[in-house]
Amino acid sequence: MPSTPFLRTESLNAKPVARRTILKAGGTLLLSVLAPQLAHAAQILAVRVWPADDYTRVTLENDSDLKTSHFLVKDPERLVVDIEGLELNPTLKSLVAKIQSNDPYIKQVRVGQNRPNVVRLVFDLKEEVKPQVFTLAPVGNYKHRLIFDLYPVKAVDPIAAMIEKGEWSSDSKSATAAAQPAAPAATPAAATPANNGAPSNTAAVPPGGIAVQPPAGTGPAAHPALPGAVDAGQNGKPDLAAAKPEPKHEAKPENKTEQRAETRPGKVTRMITIALDPGHGGEDPGAIGARGSREKDIVLAIAKRLKARIEEHPNMRVMLTRDGDYFVPLPTRVEKARKVDADLFVSIHADAFVQPSARGSSVFVLSEKGASSTAARWLANKENQADLIGGANVKTPDKQLASVLFDLSTTAQINDSMKVGKAVLGEIGGINKLHKGSVEQAGFAVLKAPDIPSILIETAFISNPEEEARLLDNAYQEQIASAIVKGIKSYFAKNPPLAKSRQT
């Protein structure tokens, strides 16, 4: 019976081989079952819509990076987006109800399961748009974000938009205001001993307004009065009474003074344009107070109060970089100010620090050579991260704008910024404790317009419970707005802007 042990040995050797084969087969089968589930694990955590005249943003926050494809359809205008690796869930379906009737660009959105593992969004549009679709990596409290930015084909012109809303005063209105009769006390000033009765190079100041310097070459020497020159009357015809010369022996001293004031050459009046920049907005809430108040809401409220205060002056007007709750990238804020040829840029914020005891107001300007303090450097770095949190599309930078923004030949701008910063800081010190008694400097990206004096105001520490309460108080918001206006007026009174041709 020699074969029996042999057969038994073969049977024993074959048994473990079969077990390993079964285990391998079972593992492969298990992976094939689980793989689709792992691939489809992406979940939409939140949906947000930020409508604005500049553009409308739709944000899908999710727990993993998503792949998308999109295309436009005409007649009627639609944007179609396919998102891979998703199944419909209640959060994603809620996007339909978040579209507002006053959205400038989106009429409605439809959401559906186009095919297995692919969700399709169809945006019915009110007009043709230029979409930007991109993803953002996790940052701050946000997970992965899929962003749809819908821009108009023709970019919104800030001046045209404000004219349409009735928020933009023209230079002609300022000239009309300046042409009104001056107060009686202002008439003799034209012939004071200080100037020996010579015509002044500074324009007459409209009531409540700021004097404006004429450009070089427009003074009396450059444009002497021509013999026989006449003024046009209201009907556009020469005023013959004004043209008829008075006999010299009949002229009285006081009439000479009046005649010099009336025929004063080089009189220039133009609007002073101020760009107000409420920090943060939209996806970027800014600092959060102990009570849950958001910096973006507080600074927008202060900016609107400040706008109203400034526009009480007949030759001053305001452009807001944002007038609602939406995000504006830092370079775009500067670009907006340059498009309206702003004479001053004021960025408004509410400070925060890790220690709730920190308090006080601050004013900052740009620095070419580094921050003036460690705290200033820390704050600038924090504020410069706004584009990461707010969600700027870094794949489409404006190279021409970048070359302008980072031009370091800004010594004159910094000097002027320091002047207005000191004036504003002095006024703010009258209503709130100052965090530091001097204007600080750091590399804030939003202050890098080389041709516009620019300051950043930290109105108070929102991280301090006491100051957070003040920031939420209407009376304090009015006080801080009034103080800023006083500082701005003080600066322009001593440094009147040069008259220049408007490029807008």
- 314-366 tens-digit pLDDT: 889 999 999 999 999 999 999 999 999 999 999 999 988 888 999 999 999 99
For the purposes of burial, counting CB atoms within 10 Å of the CB of 347, is it exposed (0-12), middle (13-18) or buried (19 or more)?
Answer: buried
Q: What is the pLDDT averaged over residues 122-145?
A: 94
Q: How confident is the model over 289-314, as pLDDT tens digits?
A: 989 999 999 999 999 999 999 999 98
The Cα 490–Cα 482 span in angstroms is: 12
> Would you state the pLDDT for residue 25?
53
Residue, of 308 and 202, whose pLDDT is higher = 308
The answer, yes or no, to whether residue 428 has pLDDT greater than 90, is yes
Q: Which of 313, 345, 272, 182 is nearest to 495 (CA)?
A: 272
Residue, of 453 and 389, whose pLDDT is higher = 453
Q: What is the pLDDT averaged over residues 415-422?
A: 95
Dig out the tokens for 442 from the structure: 């750091």
Q: What is the pLDDT averaged over residues 467-489?
A: 97
> Would you state the pLDDT for residue 411?
81
Q: Which of 462, 336, 485 is nearest to 398 (CA)?
A: 336
Question: CA 4 → CA 1, 7, 12, 14, distances in Å?
Answer: 6, 5, 12, 16
Dig out the tokens for 303 from the structure: 């900016």
The Cα 412–Cα 202 span in angstroms is: 22
In contact, 472 and 297? CB cutoff 8 Å? no
> Would you state the pLDDT for residue 442?
86
For the purposes of burial, counting CB atoms within 10 Å of the CB of 372, is it exposed (0-12), middle (13-18) or buried (19 or more)?
Answer: middle
Q: What is the pLDDT averaged over residues 18-47?
A: 58
Amino acid 164 reads: E
CA 465 centroid distance within chain: 27
In contact, 241 and 287? CB cutoff 8 Å? no
pTM, 2 dp: 0.72
Which residues, 6+ apart, have CB-to-CB distance to 397 below 8 Å?
A: 331
The Cα 282–Cα 15 span in angstroms is: 66
Helices and strands, number each (H, E), in the chain = 15, 14
The answer, yes or no, to whether residue 392 has pLDDT greater than 70, is yes
The DSSP bridge pattern shows strands 78-84 and 68-73 to be antiparallel
Cβ atoms within 10 Å, residue 365:
25
The Cα 59–Cα 47 span in angstroms is: 6
For the chain, what is the mean pLDDT? 76
37-73 b/e (C-beta count within 10 Å ≥ 16 → b): eeeeebebbebebbbbbbbbbbbbbbeeebebeeeee
Percent of the chain residues past pLDDT 90, beyond the cut: 49
> Would you state the pLDDT for residue 24?
56
